[in-house]
């Protein structure tokens, strides 16, 4: 993972204060981590996001994250090296204004700035902003739920979650990876029409796409919900198809986190296939947890590799085609490698980088829980 320098991000200028009518104005670099930025703009009436180059799309990502994930509703202004062709997209990701520094394009900018006559309005269907407190709902007593599920069979946990606890308000999140067939098989036997959310990042192995289709048919799953990154955002932020290399966190945000964020509000709970034996942050995985105000159910949390393999054999489940080639955990092709001799199950993911999770299960550090 690229390590951003941990230094104060925001700077405030007297000129900015004047322009904002005396309110608290901060400027942050477009390449900032959104969580750090969110902490520093809490009280601001205006945030200026600085673009060091019009070719660097990270400011777009940061704006989207401040709007959709942090719930920032003040004024957002893009400043720095920008070109008029970017006006449409700047407005779309939530900017209210732009202060370009290129004087040679002043005439074109005069026309393009007309887009910014309407201030940002938070959309009603966006994910619950993390600055707002989510209403408590039945089934959110984590201690009671974990006590109830302690020692229970995974299939029984799933049956209770799908038919009782979050009936009609629960979906499964599946990568159709190396172990996915186990949980999906259980779910197919309980309720094959349970929504299965599949993040098609545009970077999946062809074998995963084939396996997804074959396994869906074999198990009789009837409600696959394919989520893809926004085409406009992908073009603006990853025009050279190298974002995974430059900034894998930004790439996962574009291709996984944000597509999921757009629909997660439709469900009270998501089922995952994560397990403690995967190691890293998963070592202490509870069966039920809350991440940024939403329930995750991890019915296979206590399972190990032996139990997974035994289940595959017992029900003669098809394996992912890459499993036999040493791929123990399978994500996007640029960021997945076979496991080396002494590696743990997820050591082939983002190998050589300080990154172990894509972010869809990562709690925000400033979540209002
Ligand atoms: S796993 Fe790699 S290619 Fe896939 S979204 Fe994340 S950084 Fe991009």
For the record, the structure tokens of 80 come out as: 């720095």
Mean pLDDT of 144-165: 92
Residue 76: its pLDDT value, please?
Answer: 87
Mean pLDDT of 301-325: 95
Specify the range with the lowest mean pLDDT, choosing from 11-15, 108-112, 180-184, 300-304. Answer: 11-15
Distance 32 CA to ligand 1 centre (A): 19
Q: Is the CB of 253 under 6 A from ligand 1?
A: no
Residue 115: its pLDDT value, please?
Answer: 64
CATH number of 14-117: 3.20.20.70
Closest atom, ligand 1, to C-alpha of 332:
4
Q: Is the CB of 292 under 6 A from ligand 1?
A: no
Instruction: Name the more confident of 99 and 195.
Output: 195
Residue 289 has pLDDT above 50, yes or no: yes
State the pTM of this model: 0.63
Q: Which of 252, 332, 335, 358 is catalytic?
A: 358
Domain-wise residue ranges, the chain: 14-117, 142-335
Residue 216 has pLDDT above 50, yes or no: yes
Residue 15: its pLDDT value, please?
Answer: 45
CATH number of 142-335: 3.40.50.620
Residue 2: its pLDDT value, please?
Answer: 34
Confidence of residue 3 (pLDDT cuts 50, 70, 90): very low
Residue 78: its pLDDT value, please?
Answer: 92
Specify the range with the lowest mean pLDDT, choosing from 120-134, 191-205, 298-312, 340-354. Answer: 120-134
Q: What is the enclosing helix (H) or strand (E) of 233?
A: helix 231-237
In the DSSP assignment, the letter for residue 228 is -
From CA 239, how far away is CA 369, in angstroms rounded?
36
Beta bridge partners of 294: 291
Q: Is the CB of 275 under 6 A from ligand 1?
A: no
DSSP 253-303: IIIIIHHHHHHHTT-SEEE----GGG-GGGGG--SEEEETTEEEE-TTTT-
From CA 172, how far away is CA 296, in angstroms rounded?
10
Q: Is the CB of 130 under 6 A from ligand 1?
A: no
Instruction: Name the more confident of 7 and 52.
Output: 52
From CA 217, how far away is CA 176, in angstroms rounded?
13
Mean pLDDT of 339-356: 79
38 touches 21 (CB < 8 A):
no
What percentage of the chain exceeds 90 in pLDDT? 48
Q: Which of 241, 246, 248 to mutate to test the pocket of ligand 1 (most atoms within 8 A of CB)?
A: 248
Mean pLDDT of 226-238: 95
Residue owning the nearest CA to atom 4 of ligand 1? 332
Beta bridge partners of 26: 47
From CA 345, how far away is CA 280, in angstroms rounded?
10
Confidence of residue 54 (pLDDT cuts 50, 70, 90): confident
16 touches 27 (CB < 8 A):
yes
Residue 112: its pLDDT value, please?
Answer: 78
Distance 343 CA to ligand 1 centre (A): 20
Residue 119: its pLDDT value, please?
Answer: 47
**Could you give the maximum distance between any two Cα atoms of the chain, in Å?**
70
User: For all residues of the chain together, what is the average pLDDT?
Assistant: 83
Confidence of residue 364 (pLDDT cuts 50, 70, 90): low
Distance 208 CA to ligand 1 centre (A): 14
Q: Cα–Cα–Cα angle for 85, 90, 94, nearest 5°?
A: 165
DSSP 109-171: HHHHGGGGGS-----TTSPPPTTSPPPP-TT--HHHHHHHHTT--HHHHHHHIIIIITTTSEE
Is 251 part of the annotated catalytic residue set? no
Residue 257: its pLDDT value, please?
Answer: 93
Q: Are strands 288-291 and 269-271 parallel, antiparallel or unpaired?
A: unpaired
For the record, the structure tokens of 218 come out as: 């074999």
Cα 92–chain centre separation: 19
Q: Is the CB of 25 under 6 A from ligand 1?
A: no
Instruction: Name the more confident of 366 and 77.
Output: 77
Q: What are phi and psi of 93, to 5 degrees?
A: -85, 0
Q: Is 49 helix (H, G, I), strand (E, B) or coil?
A: strand
Residue 345: its pLDDT value, please?
Answer: 79
Q: Are strands 294-297 and 288-291 parallel, antiparallel or unpaired?
A: antiparallel
Instruction: Name the more confident of 131 and 31.
Output: 31
Residue 305: its pLDDT value, please?
Answer: 93
Q: Is the CB of 256 under 6 A from ligand 1?
A: yes
Residue 161 has pLDDT above 60, yes or no: yes
Q: Is the CB of 287 under 6 A from ligand 1?
A: no
Residue 239: its pLDDT value, please?
Answer: 93
Q: What are phi and psi of 200, to 5 degrees?
A: -90, 95
Residue 153: its pLDDT value, please?
Answer: 94
Q: Is the CB of 204 under 6 A from ligand 1?
A: no
Distance 244 CA to ligand 1 centre (A): 5
Closest atom, ligand 1, to C-alpha of 358:
6
Specify the range with the lowest mean pLDDT, choosing from 39-43, 50-54, 62-66, 260-264. Answer: 39-43
12 touches 18 (CB < 8 A):
no
In this predicted model, what pLDDT tens digit does every residue of 261-278 receive, in sequence order? 999 999 999 999 999 988
From CA 330, how far away is CA 346, in angstroms rounded?
9
From CA 296, how far away is CA 344, in angstroms rounded?
24
Instruction: Name the more confident of 33 and 206.
Output: 206
Residue 9: its pLDDT value, please?
Answer: 54
């Amino acid at each position: 993972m690229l390590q951003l320098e941990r230094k104060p991000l925001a700077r405030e200028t007297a000129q900015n204060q004047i322009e904002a009518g005396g309110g608290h104005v901060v400027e942050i670099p477009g390449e900032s981590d959104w969580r750090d930025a969110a902490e520093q703009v809490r009280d601001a009436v205006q945030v200026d996001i600085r673009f060091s180059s019009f070719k660097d799309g990270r400011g777009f990502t940061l704006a989207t994250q401040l709007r959709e994930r942090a719930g920032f509703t003040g004024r957002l202004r893009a400043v720095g090296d920008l070109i008029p062709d970017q006006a449409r997209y700047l407005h779309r990701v939530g900017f209210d204004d732009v202060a370009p520094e290129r004087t040679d394009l002043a005439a074109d900018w005069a026309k393009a700035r007309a887009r910014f006559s309407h201030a940002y309005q938070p959309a009603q269907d966006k994910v619950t902003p993390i600055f707002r407190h989510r209403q408590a709902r039945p089934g959110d007593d984590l201690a009671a739920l974990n006590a109830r599920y302690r020692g229970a069979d995974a299939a029984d946990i799933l049956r209770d979650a799908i038919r009782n606890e979050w009936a009609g308000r629960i979906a499964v999140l599946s990568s159709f990876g190396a172990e996915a067939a186990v949980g999906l098989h259980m779910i197919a036997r309980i309720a094959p029409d349970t929504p299965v959310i599949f993040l098609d990042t545009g970077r999946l192995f062809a074998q995963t796409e084939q396996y997804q289709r074959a396994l869906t048919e074999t198990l009789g799953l009837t409600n696959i919900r394919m989520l893809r990154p926004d085409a406009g955002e992908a073009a603006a932020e990853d025009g050279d198809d190298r974002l995974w290399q430059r900034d894998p966190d930004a790439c996962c945000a574009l291709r996984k986190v944000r597509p999921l964020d757009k629909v997660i509000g439709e469900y009270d709970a998501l089922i995952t296939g994560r397990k403690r034996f995967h190691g890293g942050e998963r070592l202490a995985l509870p069966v039920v947890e809350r991440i940024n105000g939403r329930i995750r159910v991890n019915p296979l949390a206590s399972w190990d590799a032996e139990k997974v393999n035994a289940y595959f054999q017992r029900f003669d489940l098809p394996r992912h085609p890459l499993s036999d080639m040493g791929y123990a955990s399978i994500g996007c092709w640029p960021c997945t490698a076979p496991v080396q001799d002494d590696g743990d199950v997820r050591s082939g993911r983002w190998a050589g980088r300080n990154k172990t999770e894509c972010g869809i299960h990562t709690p925000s550090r400033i979540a209002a829980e």
